[in-house]
Amino acid sequence: MIEEVYKNIYRIGVVLPGNPLKELNSYFIRGKDSDLLIDTGFRRPVCREALEQGLRELESDPARRDVLATHLHSDHSGMADLFTGPDRCIYMSAVDIALLNRFNEEKDPFYRHSRFLEEGFPREVLLEVFRTNPAMTEKMPGMDGRLCGLQDGDILQVGDYRLETLLVPGHTPGNTMFYLRDQQIMFTGDHILFDITPNITHWQGFEDSLGSYLDQLRRVRDIPVRLALPGHRKTGDYRARIDSILDHHRRRINDALQIIEQHPGMSAYEIAGCMKWKIRAADWDSFPVVQKWFAVGECLSHLDYLLKRDRIRYEIAGRAKRYYLR
């Protein structure tokens, strides 16, 4: 399905079967000498067919097509190398490129997830996550010589459009948005989504992902935006949505504090089980494993936020950290 969302800017819906996100919004900008494709979908035949079909309808030629991934997640970058010509560029923030390369070189998947084990996440459940999570199984393989690293403020010119890179670390350490100042259009990627809340998780080596995410929401809040083009699902009012996401996290932070107050000494794994989630499962034990991994990651980003601000503390007891109010 394609839709012209603005002059020479098209949205291609790429289905993500079985995923709560439902669809990835891939955007195609038609330029003069070159075109730009923003985000691609998982490296999976059904995603590939959907994107190929859309690009065929747009009569797009891969030899003049660059690809831009707003961040390293596989539903955005997974097929980047398949959709651009041999002499073209795959743009992504330099931060996420470095991370992607590190992940691809990793021999031991437990290394990056050691924090999950310290927080009471069962090892056998984690193994199941590695086996089934499309973020790990359907990604772009290895280093691609066409990767071009972007920094905050870098400009990409595509036809009449000037895309300004905004580095907004939070959803990933090198997450980006792209702003068309003259048209007041913002490609929000997964920094701002409208009918779901972007997942903010723990990243090894990235100290306070939630604090950074909230700072970056406040930093971009007052930019004039007439049309927001998100990475998934529908668009909406840019500033009102930022305010409601800020509100949402204020509530979530308080929920986490309350749970710790009522049940001092729980592990992050147990705290996550007490938080509210929009998932149809009878209880925490019957959560699908990948969703459990997302939930604990998100819980950790909230605990890190509170630790950094001295609201909570932990003690190590048995094999897990146990949390208490300060």
Which ranges in 145-232 belong to alpha helices (H)?
A: 209-220
Nearer to Zn ion, 190 or 298 (CB): 190
**Torsion angle defined by CA atoms of residues 239, 244, 245 and 249, in that order, rounded to the nearest 10 degrees:** 140
Instruction: Provide CB contacts within 8 A for 95, sequence distance 6+.
Output: 167, 169, 173, 174
Question: What is the smallest separation between the CB atom of 73 and Zn ion, expressed in angstroms?
Answer: 4
Q: Rounded to whole angstroms, how far apart are CA atoms 114 and 60?
A: 44
φ/ψ of residue 148, rounded to 5:
-120, 120
Binder to Zn ion among 30, 48, 73, 322 (CB under 5 A)?
73
Nearer to Zn ion, 73 or 322 (CB): 73
Nearer to Zn ion, 60 or 188 (CB): 188
Question: What is the smallest separation between the CB atom of 174 and Zn ion, expressed in angstroms?
Answer: 12
Q: Which amino acid type is present at position 236?
A: G
Question: Does the footprint of Zn ion cover residue 304 (CB under 5 A)?
Answer: no
Size, binding site for Zn ion by CB under 5 A: 2
Nearer to Zn ion, 193 or 271 (CB): 193
* 3-state DSSP percent of the chain in helix, strand and coil, to 5: 40, 25, 40
**Contact present, 230 and 194 (Cβ < 8 Å):** yes
Binder to Zn ion among 23, 154, 190, 298 (CB under 5 A)?
190
Reduced to 3 states (helix: H, G, I; strand: E, B; else coil), residue 305 is helix
Using CB under 5 A as the criterion, what x/- string covers residues 214-253 for binding Zn ion? ----------------------------------------
Binding residues for Zn ion restricted to 91-150, rule: CB under 5 A? none
Q: Rounded to whole angstroms, how far apart are CA atoms 167 and 215?
A: 12
Nearer to Zn ion, 185 or 200 (CB): 200
Nearer to Zn ion, 117 or 196 (CB): 196
Question: What is the smallest separation between the CB atom of 213 and Zn ion, expressed in angstroms?
Answer: 12
Kindly list the residues in this chain that would bind Zn ion in the complex (CB under 5 A): 73, 190
